[in-house]
C-alpha cells in the first residue's frame, strides 16, 4: 500500500513539473556547438535557434593545437533571431591540415532581447 502511494505521488509530481516548464523549453532554445572541419584545419562555432524568441548570446569552447598541451579559447558574442537555421557565429583558422587536436564541450548562455 505504501509503495502504491509513493508511486502515485511520484507520477503526480512529475506531471506537475512537466506542466510548469518554461515556455522557452517547450518552443525551443538556442543551440551552439564548436566543431572541426573535415581536415582539422579550422574550428567553427555553429549556432541555431528553433524558437520564435530573439536572444543575445555568448559562447566559448576550449581547444588544443596538435603537439601543444596549452588550452586555447574561441569565444564570441552574437545576436540570434528567432527561427534561425544553423549558421557560423565565429571561427578560427589553423595553419594547415591536422592543426587542431581536441575540442572541449561548448559552453554558451543566451538572454532574451
pLDDT tens, residue by residue, 72-107 = 999 999 999 999 999 999 999 999 999 999 999 999
Task: Compute the distance between CA of residue 8 and CA of residue 10 in angstroms, rounded to an integer.
Answer: 5
**pTM of this prediction exceeds 0.75:** no
Q: What residues does each domain of the chain span?
A: 28-112
pLDDT band, very low/low/confident/very high, at 28 (cuts 50, 70, 90): confident
Where is 110: in which H helix or E strand?
strand 107-112
Fold type of domain 28-112: Immunoglobulin-like (2.60.40)
Amino acid at each position: 500500500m505504501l509503495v502504491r502511494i509513493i508511486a502515485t505521488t511520484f507520477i503526480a509530481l512529475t506531471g506537475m513539473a512537466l506542466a510548469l516548464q518554461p515556455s522557452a523549453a517547450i518552443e525551443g532554445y538556442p543551440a551552439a556547438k564548436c566543431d572541426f572541419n573535415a581536415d582539422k584545419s579550422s574550428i567553427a562555432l555553429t549556432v541555431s535557434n528553433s524558437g520564435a524568441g530573439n536572444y543575445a548570446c555568448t559562447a566559448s569552447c576550449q581547444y588544443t593545437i596538435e603537439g601543444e598541451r596549452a588550452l586555447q579559447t574561441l569565444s564570441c558574442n552574437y545576436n540570434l533571431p528567432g527561427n534561425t537555421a544553423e549558421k557560423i557565429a565565429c571561427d578560427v583558422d589553423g595553419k594547415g591540415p591536422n592543426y587542431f587536436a581536441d575540442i572541449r564541450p561548448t559552453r554558451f548562455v543566451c538572454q532574451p532581447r
